[in-house]
Structure 1
Amino acid sequence: MGKTTVAWEVFERLARRGLATGFVDIDQLGMCLPEPDGDPGRYRLKARALGAVTANFRDAGAQCLVVPGVTDPVRGIETVANAELTTCLLRADPAELARRITVRGGATNLIEALEHAETVDREPGLHVDTTGLTVTEVADRVLAQTGWPDPREPATRPLRRYSDPGEVLLLCGPAAVGKSTVGWQVFQQVQRSGRNAAFVDLDQISFHRPELGDHFRAANLAAVWHTFRAAGTECLIAVGPLEDPERYRAALPAAAVTVCCLDAGRDVLLDRATRRARGESPAPGLAGDLLLGQPPDRLREIVGRTRGTGDLHVDTGHRPVDEIADEVLRNTLYLRAGYRPLR
């Protein structure tokens, strides 16, 4: 339906207007297995996690928060703690929606998607029709018809602290090194081994203009982990940029935190970054890809940045992703839980 694309356009506009604005992809707040009892689709889990990170955004001084997500076709939109919700449902004609799903590809079931869209169309509340409109035009309508936001003056306060046990693996490294791809493979392998695992992209739960840095990403990770842990999750794989790993250890004082730095040769990174810049992303649909559309000079600057430090370093150049994930798992705390490599 274009939720993420339109939400990112709204987010960038508000930031250019000078508002302290956050962005959270709500899908990132429900990537844990198994599914909680009585919560098919994890909609209530996502709402609880969103409430936890919303408190952090508020306490960090954010005036508004933009959140794209799919609504529960049975229960509708969940309430969210620490938030004054303004909701806007995007819709499109069935033929247009079918065309978009077909073009995007992936595993989306077309019949189920159209049935879900028909159900959502009957929900009360403000609807914006995206059929035949550009992203800019849809964002114009969303802001005009909702009258949102009506921001208050920012008021900062100390971020909430959590102390939840468990195992947390942080995968970091330079742009285009494969953090998300490897992290997702690690997540799948861990959950196939029988453990209740979760996955989070640090950026997708912590975008903010102006940038708030590692201390905020770490606080949001701790808030999400608190929610996942309460749902029975044993271990968490998180991917993203890490400037200071010690901030994450401080935010997760009761967890066993392992920092794994991924790396690859400069030529490999530049090739991957160039393909990402052309839109050949391994994870299409994620907001805020800073490589997208960048010129060659800028890409060379980005991939040439200093590498991170961690407990483990793994090379991702010219290797299959399952082999890389095996190496990560063989050298982390997950091995203690009985994980066995594929080979």
Structure 2
Amino acid sequence: MIPVLWLCGPPGVGKTCVAWRVYTHLREGGVAAAYVDIDQLGMCYPERDSDSGRYRLKARNLASVVANFAAFGATCVVVSGVVDPSYRPAVPGAAATLCRLRVDRDELVRRFPGRSGGGGPVAGVVASAEELDAGTIADLCVDTTGLAMPEAVAAVEAATEGWRTAAGAPPPLPVFVPTDGQVLWVSGVPGVGTSTVGYAIYERTLRSGRTTGYLDLRQIGFGARGQVDHQLRAANAAAVWRAYRDLGADGLVIVGGIDAHGAEAHYARALPAATPAVCRLHANRADLADRILPRGERGSWPQPGDPLLGLPVERLRQVVERAVADGGELELAETGVRVDSSGLGVAETADAVLATGVWPLLESGQGQK
């Protein structure tokens, strides 16, 4: 058995931030912990009427990802995300502790309009909070009303003390089934726009009427090794794609960094039946600096573990130089289909990617408003 701590609650309650800090505290204490946000495991649309909110899809993928984390050395897993108040997800081979976070309604309303990334009407968030308050699926509840983030984290850690005590056989690994379909990997070094461009292509594909999945490789790669582990990321990508394909998805857009040292081979082995395409975005030094330096104060989206958020300018300048050097290595290796994003906005870069023909599900210009 592997212990799993799942922090749930309505949007805006702070579950992702608290979960990430619990995870980092474990890592700092020498614990081989892993982390995933449940929303990252259900980005496949349009959703089915039989699984509104894609809760069962996310639970299936969570079981696979937790098993892979354990196989790659994790001794526990921290999870964040909304759960269906009427459905407690099963994670085979895991000893799950479901901890619900809540705040008073007035504070939830104040938090939500300013929540980076949006998420839905405030009335719906309040209704979700009330439904969770009335439910009984959680093992415990921690009220963080009026607490600053460090205080909220301390309250959760105190309330969940002992959640890592579990014994038994490790969770069963997901059954490997070679899965066909179109897979587009939008890659590159930090600052080239992999996430924003990949997501733009994903949205256009959805608007064209295709059932499509999206996956951020970094967000499924917070494993026990504490480093970029393409073998783990590939295993998780294969499991998630299998679930999306079973729902009828035609293609999968994945985003994430690549290297010039054979990382592609891990994904080729994990996705042997798919039709893959790697698009490598490139940008010049000036553009990389313009995109990376402001990230110390804000992120492009509220991603867990943003590696640049909060860094001082001097450290960000080092990130720029590292990106330039890594980009040069990728240029020499001629990795993937090269698209230069220098001087281009997100939509223009997406146009340039589609113009290469690497994404047959969507012709160049299709799906634009």
TM over 0.5: yes
For 1:156 and 1:78, the matched residues in 2 are separated by 15
The letter for the 1-side match of 2:215 is V
2:129 corresponds to: 117
1:300 corresponds to: 317
3-state SS of paired residue (2:186): strand
Which ranges in structure 2 are unaligned for 5 or more consecutive residues?
1-12
The letter for the 1-side match of 2:274 is A
Count of residues in Structure 1 that have an aligned counterpart in Structure 2:
339
2:254 pairs, out of 238, 242, 247, with 238
324-333 or 50-59: bigger deviation: 324-333
3-state SS of paired residue (1:304): helix
1:341 corresponds to: 365
> Within the alignment, does 1:87 sit opposite 2:101 as a pair?
no
2:6 corresponds to: none
3-state SS of paired residue (2:27): helix
For 1:82 and 1:174, the matched residues in 2 are separated by 36
218-227 or 294-303: bigger deviation: 294-303
- CA deviation after TM superposition for structure 1 residue 193, in Å: 1.7
1:118-168 C-alpha deviation (Å, 9 max, x unpaired):
111122231111111122222222222122222669979998644100111
Identity of aligned residues (%): 41
Please show how residues 213-224 of structure 1 align to structure 2 within 5 Å. 213-224=229-240
1:312 corresponds to: 337
The letter for the 2-side match of 1:296 is V
Aligned 8 A contact 1:202 1:239 in 2: yes
- CA deviation after TM superposition for structure 1 residue 184, in Å: 0.7
3-state SS of paired residue (2:215): strand
1:20-61 C-alpha deviation (Å, 9 max, x unpaired):
111111101111112124000100000001111111011112
Please show how residues 65-104 of structure 1 align to structure 2 within 5 Å. 65-73=77-85, 75-104=86-115
297-306 or 253-262: bigger deviation: 297-306
2:218 corresponds to: 203
> Within the alignment, does 1:129 sit opposite 2:143 as a pair?
yes
- CA deviation after TM superposition for structure 1 residue 217, in Å: 0.8
- CA deviation after TM superposition for structure 1 residue 18, in Å: 1.2
243-252 or 59-68: bigger deviation: 243-252
> Within the alignment, does 1:267 sit opposite 2:286 as a pair?
yes
Aligned 8 A contact 1:63 1:154 in 2: no
2:71 pairs, out of 44, 59, 63, with 59
The letter for the 2-side match of 1:339 is E
Aligned 8 A contact 1:200 1:239 in 2: yes
For 1:83 and 1:329, the matched residues in 2 are separated by 42
> Within the alignment, does 1:331 sit opposite 2:356 as a pair?
yes
Aligned 8 A contact 1:203 1:240 in 2: yes
1:144 corresponds to: 158
- CA deviation after TM superposition for structure 1 residue 176, in Å: 2.1
The letter for the 1-side match of 2:194 is K
Aligned 8 A contact 1:63 1:152 in 2: no
For 1:152 and 1:179, the matched residues in 2 are separated by 40
